[in-house]
A and B are shown apart, each in its own frame.
Chain A
Amino acid sequence: MRIGLFIPCYVDQFYPDVAVATVEVLERLGVEIDYPTQQTCCGQPMANTGCRHETRPLAFKFLKTFKDYPYVVCPSGSCVAMVRHHYREYLDGQPGFEELVGKTYEFCEFLVDVLKIDPVEGSFPHKVGIHQSCHALRHLRLASSSERVGASFSKMRQLLEPLEGITFSELERTDECCGFGGTFSINEEAVSCSMGLDRIADHQRAGTEVMTAPDMSCLMHMTGLLQRQGIRMEIMHIAQILAGREVSNEK
């Protein structure tokens, strides 16, 4: 199976190992990966600031880059939500657009829903706190959100659970936003940081050793806060755990 790998710009530039881990996991599962290097940014920062004129050319660039792949896979719920839910504004009626929406998957979704993989082997003897990134949660429904009534599920937890020795933190607020929110983190700096600190405190109380998420952007925000506060808590993207990365700051 061949996929076009879509790596968010900030992951490409700041967190290359998250992308490498994504590649490792997918290749181990027999997926043939192509990373088209003309890709840059999906345009979400501009779109979320209301700057549609500035977003449009990036949406077109994205379509051109990825339209010929059978699947597009990305280790970020937020960027996939942009393509799936917000590109219509720019690309409605363009040849290949409907197909693009249907074949663009977030990494965990792709493993669970498309590859339908067997339980990942490996061990991860740590207490893991899952941060439910809002876009993955409420825009892509990677898990059941606490506001809605119905069967509870989590594709992330489903992927992690088979790992030997893994345990999970039980949070007081299972899916409250961390406050990153893209440009919100700058526009509403005070609220954004207050939200992030509250999330971290919840994880501390629950005894989280490793915080993980399907979105590096939330984790970038919380890593920044943790470092400034001098709090030791390991932060890993879910792809890094599945790829078998070690916990780095073990004393």
Chain B
Amino acid sequence: MVQPRIEHAADAARFIQNAERAHWHDQALWFVRAKRDKAVACVPEWEMLRDRAQQIKSHTLAHLADYLEQFEQNATRHGIQIHWARTADDHNRIVLEILQQHQVQRVVKSKSMLTEECGLNPVLEQHGIEVVDTDLGERIVQFRNEPPSHIVLPAIHIKKEEVGQTFHEHLGTDEGASDPNYLTEAARQHLRGKFMAAEAGITGVNFAIAETGGFVVCTNEGNADIGVSLPKLHIACMGIEKLIPRAADLAVFTRMLARNATGQPVTTYTSHFQGPVPGGQLHVVLVDNGRCTLRASDTFRDALRCIRCGACLNTCPVYRRSGGYSYHATVPGPIGSVLNATRDVKTYHSLPFACSLCASCSDVCPVKIPLHESLLDLRWEVVQQGQLPWSKRLMMKGASFVFKRTWLYNLGGRVARWVLPKLPRPLVYNRLNAWGQQRDLPEMPKKSFRQIYQERDER
């Protein structure tokens, strides 16, 4: 399927046109970022933890094959059935086959960005299997037939009044009701029925531990736990980068994940799975889907350390003002720009440029992914693949030509400073002048610094 090229700036401009809403979106996410700042400030050794987390992840990625094998052996010993999926299609087929073998009609699924990435839901639905997302935010967007707009807060772009309307349509709540407690209670009752009826539970995986063969799922709603406790069949889907070597390493990450994601000291539920429930089955699907290719890249490998805390989205001034959908990808924001543009630079050519290089993402990241540097490196990738619009390339060629020649630079400066103030305003400020849409140009001084300096020297 040929994807249309994503033009982030145009979508962002559309998002900002509704200034009130854009502002609200920015504030909602900044609130999370501020809460996060308070939570991490309570951990004096925070920066040490970041170093440690980075080292653990880098080490695991360097020895990934060994640790994957170790995980498989240990998991198998506990009766977990391991499946390997090279692509998204493989993953979907494997999950579908397991469900079909058990004649499953109804599935409950807790939050898993991997299954979003692979597009699992539509595949299962095509085969007549009902999939219910049980995370509240995910259920909201599922009702609305929308993808999540954030990896931790999937419905962050939706106001509570709109949730009320959605629930009124799907759950029969009172029209106009927007009280979060009332709406949550309605969702709870609705989901309870779905949990009771489910024949299988699908979850994501936050951390898989090579040494023990177990894995950990973190949620705030306990929906993963109930979703896999009632049915006898549990399928857990994970990207191969979710691995860590030892149980002892886990503490580093559980101390960081919730604090950095939402400002909570720890996720409400941190559930450890060591094997199937008595009489049941537990399957783990290990998915590559481009991760090995990314791992082979010296420049961009660091992105695989990501633990999907979402903090780089919350802190990104561009994400907050352009919304998740402007990225047209499962994972938006800084890490999404890196993951998607490394995968398909043509489609996502504009994402590396949706960044002011402020580097807040790199400072907030718990595993120290140099996100802003990767985005800068990706711009070079865009140029190399011939995906930079020729107008921009030409502008840069022209500027470089001038800057190489001091005399030409001097002349150009003089002419600009002389001409600009004399031009009638419409000639300077028009549709072609992006700078001037909302900003005045600097007032042109009579003399450049070098002129002043040289005159002083001559005196």
Contact B359 A14 (CB under 8 A): no
Contact A46 B409 (CB under 8 A): no
Q: How far is the CA of A227 from the CA of B22 in the complex (A)?
A: 23
Q: How far is the CA of A48 from the CA of B434 in the complex (A)?
A: 18
A224 to chain B, nearest CB (A): 3
Contact B47 A50 (CB under 8 A): no
New A-B pairs, 9, CB < 8 Å, besides A50-B382, A180-B356, A191-B12:
A37-B454, A45-B396, A51-B393, A138-B358, A148-B47, A149-B41, A195-B356, A223-B440, A227-B440
| Per-residue contact bits, chain A 39-69, to B (CB 8 Å; 1 contact, 0 not) | 1110101111111101101100100000000
For B404, the chain A residues whose CB sits under 8 A away are 40, 57-58, 61
For A138, the chain B residues whose CB sits under 8 A away are 358-360, 362-363
Does A189 belong to the interface (CB within 8 Å)?
yes
The 8 nearest A-B residue pairs measured at CB: A181-B356, A50-B379, A224-B439, A177-B358, A54-B400, A147-B363, A190-B13, A149-B46
A22 to chain B, nearest CB (A): 9
Q: How far is the CA of A168 from the CA of B356 in the complex (A)?
A: 26
Q: How far is the CA of A135 from the CA of B363 in the complex (A)?
A: 12
Q: How far is the CA of A20 from the CA of B454 in the complex (A)?
A: 12
| 27 A-B residue pairs with CB within 8 Å | A12-B413, A13-B416, A14-B417, A15-B445, A39-B406, A40-B404, A41-B399, A41-B403, A43-B400, A46-B396, A47-B376, A48-B379, A51-B396, A58-B403, A134-B356, A138-B358, A138-B362, A148-B46, A149-B46, A149-B47, A181-B357, A183-B392, A189-B9, A189-B438, A194-B16, A194-B321, A195-B317
Does B216 belong to the interface (CB within 8 Å)?
no
Q: How far is the CA of A9 from the CA of B406 in the complex (A)?
A: 11
Closest to B389 in A: A187
Looking at chain A, what size class is its interface with the partner chain? Answer: 35 or more
For B26, the chain A residues whose CB sits under 8 A away are 198
Does A179 belong to the interface (CB within 8 Å)?
yes
Counted as pairs of residues, one from A and one from B, with CB atoms less than 8 Å apart, the total is 213
Contact of B383 among A52, A177, A189 (CB under 8 A): A52
A43 to chain B, nearest CB (A): 7
- The answer to whether A228 and B439 touch (CB under 8 A), given A16-B445, A138-B359, A192-B356, is yes
Contact A20 B396 (CB under 8 A): no
Q: How far is the CA of A20 from the CA of B318 in the complex (A)?
A: 35
Contact B397 A54 (CB under 8 A): yes
Contact B355 A189 (CB under 8 A): no
Contact B452 A55 (CB under 8 A): no
- The answer to whether A54 and B396 touch (CB under 8 A), given A148-B47, A177-B360, is yes
- The answer to whether A188 and B438 touch (CB under 8 A), given A52-B383, A58-B404, A146-B37, is no
Q: How far is the CA of A16 from the CA of B322 in the complex (A)?
A: 36
